[in-house]
């Protein structure tokens, strides 16, 4: 992963670490919303909501558009691409480990869930 991609992942993960920001993304995921509607739905002040939206925008996770005098915010799915790519890199190794465990009959007396839990701990 290059330095720029690593920085994108860091910004996105920091933004996503806050529960209010994740809640905002849930609110705007299906349609663009104005700050006031987001704040009302989540029970936050407009000032707090605006702060979180700035963090999300800097992290590339939201996009802002204007509709008359209203500023509408929507999820920027491309912004999640760096995080997804980072996380996707973990799965091939885990799936290969699970496949090897199943094929070798590791703990063959255990339930299938137990075998996958063992692999997940590794």
Cα 20 vs. chain centroid, distance in angstroms?
Answer: 13
Rounded Cα gap, residues 73 and 116, in angstroms? 40
What pLDDT is stored for residue 51 in this prediction?
97
Interval 67-97: pLDDT, tens = 898 999 999 988 888 888 888 877 777 777 7
Per-residue pLDDT band at 106 (split at 50, 70, 90):
low
Q: How far is CA 91 from the centre of its chain?
A: 16
Listed in order, strand segments (DSSP E) in the chain are 33-34, 62-67, 70-75
Q: What is the pTM of this model?
A: 0.71
pLDDT the model gives residue 79: 84
Percentage of residues in the chain having pLDDT higher than 90: 52
DSSP state of 97: H
């Amino acid at each position: 992963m290059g330095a720029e991609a690593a920085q994108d992942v860091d910004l996105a993960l920091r933004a996503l670490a806050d529960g209010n920001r994740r809640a905002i993304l849930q609110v705007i995921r299906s349609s663009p919303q104005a700050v006031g509607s987001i704040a009302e739905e989540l029970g936050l002040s407009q000032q707090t909501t605006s702060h979180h939206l700035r963090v999300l925008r800097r992290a590339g996770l939201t996009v802002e558009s204007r509709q008359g005098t209203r500023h509408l915010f929507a999820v920027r799915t491309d912004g999640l691409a760096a995080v997804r790519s980072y996380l996707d890199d973990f799965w091939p190794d885990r799936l290969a480990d699970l496949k090897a465990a199943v094929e070798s009959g590791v703990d063959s007396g255990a339930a299938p869930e137990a075998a996958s839990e063992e692999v997940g701990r590794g």
